[in-house]
């Protein structure tokens, strides 16, 4: 018994000595569990697919940085509203966030979702790709202006238009419709132009008020997405929906620019690598979700119209997007890309992307 206790004591002492000597000989191993950077990631939203992709991103940052960066993801408004989280990242109390580039926050943000630029996931994956996508490059500059670094983009898909009066197959079908709009001026101008001469009227309402406004007949229709039709139950108060794809919904994963600039290159690359994988996952899962939503909506009785490419082109031409770009985008672009005719450069590149994506 005494011998056994003595052996256990000697064993314990040896184990302690081993741990101490290991920490002295291999200090990097002893500190591997202590991150150099502990960050918070905030979002005000509850979308399942997107939040799962962001959680994956945060986990991969920890993995690819070998534990040097630890990111805690806090979603569903735990860190505040969308705008509150934006300002928290800008001042540095929160380090990363999912944000929408509304122009009252980011003057160049309209470039993220100008109508009739992106219509499909294939186009979006090229245009928003880090680092060479044309929309990634211009949006990174827009974010830099307000102290952010753009990392990757997360889609919600194409916008269509729903209403309760008639199927929308041509611009003439906007006749006398009362349409809900938001403060997104690019969308508003495009819709005004597409409905020009039809007696269309536009009413600005918050996104959260769409359901009640449609239910009570305050408006006849609105723009929406496959996800919003189901998750926010727009389909319950709409009879018709046209898969027009006139605009694209893409939010952004971004971080405090100063924090980014002070990181060593290997950690910046670890973050980019995590972002590329999370973004790829996000695109895959969002497309799966859209396919499921379409089936649910058809079974629920929503009348869905899928216009041909030729029918979409009629809407596109009537939107008069060159005038919309001239009004909304060119002033900001000329400041940041003086003398480069950047608006035309972007549109030419988007036309090229549309052609490439159409062939794949």
* Pair (198, 58) in one structural domain: no
Give the model's pLDDT for residue 20: 42
Q: How confident is the model at residue 336 (pLDDT cuts 50, 70, 90)?
A: very high
Q: How confident is the model at residue 19 (pLDDT cuts 50, 70, 90)?
A: very low
pTM: 0.87
* Pair (105, 191) in one structural domain: no
* Pair (235, 148) in one structural domain: no
HSE-up of residue 134 (Cα within 13 Å, Cβ side) = 20
Domain assignment of residue 225, given as a range: 159-248+300-359
For residue 204, being part of any structural domain is answered with yes
CB 64 within 8 A of CB 29: no
* Pair (114, 217) in one structural domain: no
Q: How confident is the model at residue 359 (pLDDT cuts 50, 70, 90)?
A: confident
* Pair (282, 314) in one structural domain: no
Mean pLDDT of all residues in 321-332: 96
For residue 309, being part of any structural domain is answered with yes
In whole angstroms, give the CA distance from residue 159 to residue 224: 5
For residue 340, being part of any structural domain is answered with yes
DSSP state of 306: -
* Pair (58, 202) in one structural domain: no
Count of the separate structural domains present in the chain = 2
Residue 58, sorted as left (phi over 0), alpha (psi -120 to 50) or beta, turns out to be: alpha
For residue 78, being part of any structural domain is answered with yes
For residue 124, being part of any structural domain is answered with yes
Judged against a pLDDT cut of 50, whether residue 85 lies above it is answered with yes
Of 168, 225, 176, 222, which Cα lies nearest the Cα of 197? 176
* Pair (150, 259) in one structural domain: yes
Q: Identify the CATH number of the domain in which residue 99 sits.
A: 3.40.190.170
* Pair (171, 224) in one structural domain: yes
* Pair (76, 200) in one structural domain: no
């Amino acid at each position: 018994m005494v011998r056994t206790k003595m052996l256990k004591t000697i064993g314990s002492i040896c184990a302690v000595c081993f741990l101490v000597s290991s920490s002295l000989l291999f200090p990097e191993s002893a500190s591997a569990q202590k991150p150099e950077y502990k960050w918070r990631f905030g979002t005000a939203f509850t979308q399942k697919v997107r939040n799962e992709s962001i959680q994956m991103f945060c986990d991969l940052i920890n993995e690819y940085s070998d534990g040097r960066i630890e990111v805690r993801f806090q979603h569903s408004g735990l860190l505040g509203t969308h705008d509150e989280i934006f300002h928290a990242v800008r001042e540095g109390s929160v380090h990363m966030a999912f944000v929408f580039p509304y122009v009252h926050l980011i003057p160049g943000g309209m470039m993220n979702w100008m109508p009739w630029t992106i219509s499909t996931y294939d186009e979006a994956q090229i245009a928003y790709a880090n680092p060479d996508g044309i929309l990634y490059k211009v949006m990174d500059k827009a974010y830099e202006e307000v102290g952010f670094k753009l990392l990757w983009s997360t889609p919600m898909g194409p916008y269509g238009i729903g209403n309760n009066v008639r199927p929308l197959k041509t611009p003439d079908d906007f006749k006398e419709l009362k349409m809900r709009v938001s403060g997104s001026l690019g969308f508003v101008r495009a819709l005004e132009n597409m409905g020009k001469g039809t007696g269309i009227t536009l009413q600005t309402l918050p996104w959260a008020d769409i359901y009640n406004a449609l239910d009570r007949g305050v408006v006849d229709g609105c723009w929406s997405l496959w996800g919003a039709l189901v998750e926010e139950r727009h389909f319950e108060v709409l009879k018709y929906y046209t898969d027009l794809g006139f605009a694209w919904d893409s939010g952004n994963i971004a971080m405090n620019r100063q924090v980014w600039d002070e990181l060593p290159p290997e950690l910046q690359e670890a973050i980019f690598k995590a972002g590329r994988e999370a973004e790829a996952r996000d695109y895959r899962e969002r497309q799966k979700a859209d396919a499921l939503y379409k089936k649910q909506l058809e079974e629920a009785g929503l009348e869905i119209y899928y216009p041909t490419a030729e029918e979409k082109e009629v809407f596109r031409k009537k939107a008069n997007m060159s005038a919309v770009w001239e009004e909304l985008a060119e002033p900001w672009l000329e400041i940041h890309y003086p003398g480069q005719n950047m608006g035309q450069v972007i549109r030419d590149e988007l036309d090229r992307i549309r052609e490439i994506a159409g062939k794949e």
